[in-house]
């Protein structure tokens, strides 16, 4: 479903170096690695928010990077994304925030929009929050609203950038369990970046590890835990002393 071929990108220095990555259809794929290893940049390249110097981004067999602007705009309707900072509009209510992508991307009546929002809020355990403002929400509530907005269009491809950053362990696990349940219910193809390995790896099908701009591991979650690669072993098991 998502296939990256030879992706390279530099910002004064190389950030991504000839990265090849494949996320199979219907897979929940976790992308891990130390800070500044290129994970978030890779997500933005997939949606063509950042352009690489070299490589291809194929989604469903179509090269995103060669699409004209109008075609790319239409294609992005099939991609949901949760940004690292939630990206909620602080001047909009929860209702308006979740309604925003539906109004831009889908041809729905206001009754249909209202029904979908109520359904999403129930799924993320925040029923009745429609008229709340982002400023009055906790960090965990903002994350859940972000999840509701990222999934409300029922896109076949969803990208999550640090969906549980800054949350306590219990709330973090609830977020990951929710993302897994949403992915399975929709049959979506999901690529997720997270530093919270202990909890993210409880829900992933496959894992890739970035290190210094390169993809040094790709395999199942079980293979990641069992890997003898010193970098992967140290990172996955949280060992403080080692080669990283």
Average pLDDT over residues 44-66: 94
pTM for the predicted model, two decimal places: 0.89
Q: pLDDT digit string (tens) for 186-243?
A: 899 999 999 889 999 999 999 999 999 999 999 999 999 999 999 999 999 988 877 8
Strands laid side by side in the 54-59 sheet: 13-23, 2-11, 54-59, 62-63
Residue 62 confidence (pLDDT): 92
CA 18, CA 4: separation in Å to the nearest integer? Answer: 9
3-state secondary structure of 16: strand
Residue 58 confidence (pLDDT): 96
Side-chain half-sphere CA neighbours of 1 within 13 A: 19
Domains parsed from the chain with CATH numbers: 2-235 (3.40.50.300)
Average pLDDT over residues 88-115: 93
Q: pLDDT digit string (tens) for 131-184?
A: 999 999 998 899 889 888 988 888 899 999 998 887 888 888 988 998 998 899
Angle at which helix 110-123 crosses helix 139-151, to 10 degrees, equals 130
For the chain, give the mean pLDDT.
92
Residue 187's Cβ-count burial label (10 Å; 0-12, 13-18, 19+) is exposed
Average pLDDT over residues 83-95: 87
Give percent helix, percent strand, percent coil of the chain, each to the nearest 5: 40, 25, 35
Residue 201 confidence (pLDDT): 95
Element (H, E) at 70: helix 69-75
CB atoms within 10 A of CB 47: 17
Per-residue confidence band for 104, with pLDDT thresholds at 50, 70 and 90: confident
């Amino acid at each position: 479903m998502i296939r990256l071929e030879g992706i390279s990108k530099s910002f004064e220095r190389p950030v991504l170096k000839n990265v090849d990555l494949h996320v199979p259809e219907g897979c929940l794929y976790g992308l891990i690695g130390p800070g500044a290893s290129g994970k978030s940049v890779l997500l933005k390249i997939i949606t063509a928010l950042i352009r690489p110097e070299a490589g291809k981004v194929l989604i469903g067999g179509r090269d995103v990077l060669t699409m004209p602007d109008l075609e790319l705009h239409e294609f992005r309707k099939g991609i949901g994304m949760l940004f690292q900072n939630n990206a909620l509009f602080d001047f909009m209510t929860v209702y308006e925030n979740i309604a925003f992508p539906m109004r831009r991307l889908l041809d729905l009546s206001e009754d249909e929009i209202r029904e979908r929002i109520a359904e999403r809020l129930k799924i993320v355990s925040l029923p009745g929050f429609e008229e709340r403002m982002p400023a009055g929400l906790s960090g965990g509530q903002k994350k859940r609203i972000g999840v509701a907005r990222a999934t409300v269009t029922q896109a076949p491809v969803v990208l999550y950038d640090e969906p549980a950053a800054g949350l306590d362990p219990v709330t973090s696990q609830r977020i990951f369990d929710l993302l897994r349940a949403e992915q399975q219910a929709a049959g979506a193809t999901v690529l997720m970046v997270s530093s919270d390995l202990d909890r993210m790896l409880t829900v992933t099908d496959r894992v890739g590890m970035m290190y210094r701009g390169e993809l040094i591991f790709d395999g199942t979650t079980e293979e990641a835990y069992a890997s003898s690669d010193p970098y992967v072993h140290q990172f996955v098991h949280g060992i403080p002393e080692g080669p990283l």
